[in-house]
Amino acid sequence: MTEALLDVEGLRVQFATEDGVVRAVDGVDFSLERGRVLGIVGESGCGKSVTSMTLLGLTRGANARFEGSVKFKGQELLTASESQLRKVRGAGIAMIFQDPMTSLNPVQKVGDQIVEMIRAHEDIDKRAARLRTTELFVEVGIANAASRIDAYPHEFSGGMRQRVMIAMALACSPDVLIADEPTTALDVTIQAQILELIAKLKDERGTSVILITHDLGVVARLADDIAVMYAGRIVEQGTKESIFYDPQHPYTWGLLGSIPRIDRPKPPKLHAIPGQPPSLVRPPQGCKFRPRCPHAFAACFEEPDLVARVEPATHLDRCWLTPDEKRGRRDETIQGTTGEEAA
Amino acid sequence: MGVFVIRRLIGMVLVLFAVSFITYLIFIKIPGGDPAQRIAGKLATAQNIADIRLKLGLNHPFYVQYYDMMKQIFERKLVSYQSQLNVVGQIEEGLPATFSLAIGAGIIWLFFGIVVGTISAITAGRLSDRLITVLALIGISMPVFWLGIVGRYLLAENHPFGFLPDSGYVPITQSPVQWAYHLIMPWFVLAVLFIGFYGRVLRSTVLDTINEDYVRTARAKGISYRRLLVRHVLRNSLIPIVTLFGLDFAAVLGGGAILTETVFQLQGVGQYAAMSITTLDLPPIMAVTIYATFFIVVFNFLVDLLYAWLDPRIRPA
């Protein structure tokens, strides 16, 4: 096994708010090897973005508390100083954000925004940095790259802006690329183009990717490994194949069942997971998914650990049901043959 | 762009006309505003008043009078009803003092407003922010005439902590050192209100900007904090400050610092305006109105141009 590029252990992030302490991330472990793509999946507010932003120290603030460890190439990032982190940001770990419409500075030329980043990390002159920016624009598929680097963000469409963001993220050849819902704000056709672009660049450059999304279709396309997050915790983790073909956690079933599929008979009603994600200030007792889980039983008032319950041993989950019980019940949810309907 | 400039220039002339005409109408309608009666005095006969009317052309319809007065202003012939001095000449005499006050105070309030607002925003919720907030509210609440008099009482020569001149204006051509020395107190007294106000406005725009997605992007790029603050946060937060500054600065240039000029006896345009109003002296009031309106519309126009330069999104394509 190759040494992990990024190793996250027992990560907890808490924010003090007026309503109480929000446990946004509540004990997350994962590691990322060179060249692999990890998909972190979950619905809004499950802590997936906070997890990724914490890797770069972007959630630091007066009201934030951190526990655990984030090691990047052996360097602890959670306790690193701002100046140490600055060297990692962009150069070691780069990030693409969800909304390309608001993620670029509206009053600065896009090329300058990338040049600024290159020159923050490397001692090169402006001309060389501009040249590299132009090359990056060509690489991410922006036409007329040489003149487009002098355009302002509002002169680009959403998909093109996301290409600019990707060019920026790749500018210093990072080891890890974090893509936080990179396609959520885009049209479906553009989504496919952007995903293909990320896949292509990952293959060409051998970059590791953390792909954060609520869309299992997106991870199916790109990810090698998947971590399903719910209420600040990972509830199921494994390779893409084992998660898709042998999902163990009822929440994962719900996510899989809520995707419309054209390769299966049309269900009477598309599955929806009933209820709302739990409060992160006062989470439910035991398994966090228990209040929304149709299969909950007495044991669920105690939270199961994230351990291997099935083969392969890398496939971990947090559910008290036996593997046989799971296999017997999950198809109802995933294939939508059940009468279990949205509330 | 050319069309834009021409349209704005025409608009500026129309605004000048409208403001001066409305001021004129208000004046001739207010009780006791009749210049002939005021000039003739308490014991005047009807004949005296009629003679003065004829002499000043006050027997014409009001729009003809308005036209005559405007013509005289632009021909630099208009004289005061009270002092018989040429009003344009009087305004020109007040210009150096008013400009000196406005430019000095403007630099001070812009500089300290930005510094105070930025510090307040980046330390939001901490002691320095709270202290600045309290001081800003005190600054905004203190009337200039009160602050000016207290300043003179405490800091002017022959007073408890006196080290500054009491009042008055020394032309820069006569002695630059004395010029600045005499203006230090007026500059700061006038600037205090604006510093407090700009600091508060900037604090809130900086706090809004800091939470923008593009600032997060900039942080994720690994650039220095200083660059993040200047290039990404302040660069965007200062856009509304430009509008405020353009208009406030124009108002002070246009003689709007009436209280400061009067408290410190600067003999500027503002003080001239104040004097003319107390004696209901129409010609200088009209001339000062046009003079002030001119600065307001010109600076409004400059602000628009500057805006387009600062924010590429509103540049005409």
Predicted local confidence at residue A336, as pLDDT: 63
Helices (H), A206-302: 216-222, 240-245, 250-257
Q: Which are the contacts of A125, defined by CB distance < 8 A and separation ≥ 6?
A: none
State mean pLDDT over B197-207: 95
State mean pLDDT over B159-164: 80
SS3 content of chain B, % helix, strand, coil (to 5): 75, 0, 20
**How far apart (Å, rounded) are the C-alpha atoms in residues B92 and B100?**
13
Q: Which are the contacts of B228, defined by CB distance < 8 A and separation ≥ 6?
A: B215, B218, B219
Predicted local confidence at residue A339, as pLDDT: 42
Which residue of chain A has the CA closest to B219? A58
Residues of B in contact with A152 (CB under 8 A): 312-313
Q: How many CB atoms within 10 Å of residue A254?
A: 24
CB–CB contact A102 B220 (8 Å): no
pLDDT digits (tens, 9 = 90+) for B9-34: 899 999 999 999 999 888 878 777 67
Band (B179; pLDDT cuts 50, 70, 90) = very high
The answer to whether B145 touches B112, Cβ cutoff 8 Å, is no
Is A298 strand, coil or helix? helix
Predicted local confidence at residue A337, as pLDDT: 53
Is A8 strand, coil or helix? strand
**Stretch (H or E) spanning A238:** strand A233-239
Q: The complex's ipTM?
A: 0.87
Residue B207 pLDDT > 70: yes
For residue A228 the two structure tokens come to 């399903």
CB–CB contact A152 B236 (8 Å): no
Q: Determine the distance in angstroms separating the CA of B310 from the nearest CA of chain A, rounded to an integer.
A: 7
**How far apart (Å, rounded) are the C-alpha atoms in residues B71 and B75?**
6
Q: Determine the distance in angstroms separating the CA of A12 from the nearest CA of chain B, rounded to an integer.
A: 21
CB–CB contact A116 B220 (8 Å): no
Q: Does A18 touch chain B (CB under 8 A)?
A: no
**How far apart (Å, rounded) are the C-alpha atoms in residues A227 and A331?**
21
Q: What interhelical angle do B235-251 and B87-122 show, nearest 10?
A: 150
The answer to whether B215 touches B261, Cβ cutoff 8 Å, is no
Candidates A77, A85, A86: best to mutate against B (most CBs of B within 10 A) is A86
For residue B236 the two structure tokens come to 């965007």
CB–CB contact A121 B224 (8 Å): no
Lateral strand order in the sheet of A75-76:
A20-33, A4-17, A64-72, A75-76
Candidates B128, B219, B234: best to mutate against A (most CBs of A within 10 A) is B219
pLDDT digits (tens, 9 = 90+) for B224-279: 999 999 999 999 999 889 989 999 999 999 888 889 999 999 999 999 999 998 88
Residues of B in contact with A56 (CB under 8 A): 219-220
Q: Does B316 touch chain A (CB under 8 A)?
A: no
SS3 content of chain A, % helix, strand, coil (to 5): 35, 20, 45
pLDDT digits (tens, 9 = 90+) for B79-117: 888 888 999 999 999 999 999 999 999 999 999 999 999
Predicted local confidence at residue B192, as pLDDT: 93
Residues 220-279 of B with CB under 8 A from A: 220-225, 227, 231-232, 235-236
Predicted local confidence at residue A343, as pLDDT: 35
Predicted local confidence at residue B316, as pLDDT: 65
CB–CB contact B220 A152 (8 Å): no
Residue B160 pLDDT > 80: no
Q: How many CB atoms within 10 Å of residue A143?
A: 9
Angle formed at CA B43 by CA B40 and CA B47, multiple of 5 degrees: 60
Is A316 strand, coil or helix? strand
Q: Which amino acid is at B137?
A: L
Q: Determine the distance in angstroms separating the CA of B39 from the nearest CA of chain A, rounded to an integer.
A: 59
Predicted local confidence at residue B308, as pLDDT: 84
**How far apart (Å, rounded) are the C-alpha atoms in residues B119 and B114?**
8
Predicted local confidence at residue A1, as pLDDT: 46
Q: Which are the contacts of A170, defined by CB distance < 8 A and separation ≥ 6?
A: A94, A136, A139, A140, A177, A201, A205, A207
Q: Please report, in tens digits, the pLDDT of each residue of chain A (343 residues total).
A: 456 899 999 999 999 999 899 999 999 999 999 989 999 998 888 889 999 999 999 998 888 999 999 999 999 999 999 999 999 999 999 999 988 889 999 999 999 999 999 999 999 999 999 999 999 999 999 999 999 999 999 999 989 999 999 999 999 999 999 999 888 888 888 888 889 999 988 999 989 999 999 888 888 888 999 999 999 999 999 999 999 999 999 999 988 888 877 777 777 777 788 888 888 888 888 899 999 988 889 999 998 899 888 888 899 999 999 888 888 888 878 876 544 444 3
For residue B297 the two structure tokens come to 């519309």
What is the value of pTM for the model shown? 0.83
Residues of B in contact with A154 (CB under 8 A): 312-313
Question: How many helices (H) does chain B have, and how many strands (E)?
Answer: 14, 0
Predicted local confidence at residue B282, as pLDDT: 87
